[in-house]
Amino acid sequence: MAADPRRDGPRVPVESLCTELTGGAFRHALVVDMSEDGLRIQRPIGGPRTRSLQLEIEIPGVDEIGWASAQVCFDEVRPAGGGGIVRTSGLRLVAAAQRHRRILREYVHDVWRELRREADMGAYLLDASCYLRG
């Protein structure tokens, strides 16, 4: 949830699905975090390595599939839970319908506000007098 100085807006953790379309082939991936301008996805090792992708994105809580074009910012292999490895890619959205951009922006900012509220409430409770002397 920490802000990255390379980004203007918040990035929030998610567990959502997306499908990438590359060269006429479909490949499924797990979206692990998103911002209004990009996604980080994880998927099995293999498949073509390209600099641009067409995506179908499932935004949690929305009954509509978003379509977008994305540019790969980084593509690397990382350890996964259980001793395996996954391919992790950071994607910057370069084109999407205005409606899908708006839905994504609203989702990210709503989740960010909720995460901040929860963090602020936790800090507030730790300062409460009942915790002063343990």
Ordered DSSP codes for 65-99: EEEEEEEEEEEEEEE-GGG-EEEEEEEEEEEE-HH
| pLDDT score at 107 | 94
Total domains in the fold of the chain: 1
How far is residue 30's CA from residue 15's CA, in Å, rounded to a whole number? Answer: 7
More reliable by pLDDT, 118 or 57: 57
Q: What pTM does this model have?
A: 0.80
Q: Yes or no: say if 22 and 61 are a contact pair by the CB < 8 Å rule.
A: no
User: Looking at the predicted structure, is the pLDDT value of residue 16 above 90?
Assistant: yes
Domain span including residue 105: 12-131
Report yes or no on 44 lying in a domain: yes
**Through-space distance between the first and last CA atoms of the chain, rounded to whole angstroms:** 29
CATH of the domain at 61: 2.40.10.220
User: Looking at the predicted structure, is the pLDDT value of residue 134 above 60?
Assistant: no
| pLDDT score at 1 | 47
More reliable by pLDDT, 12 or 130: 12
Report yes or no on 40 lying in a domain: yes
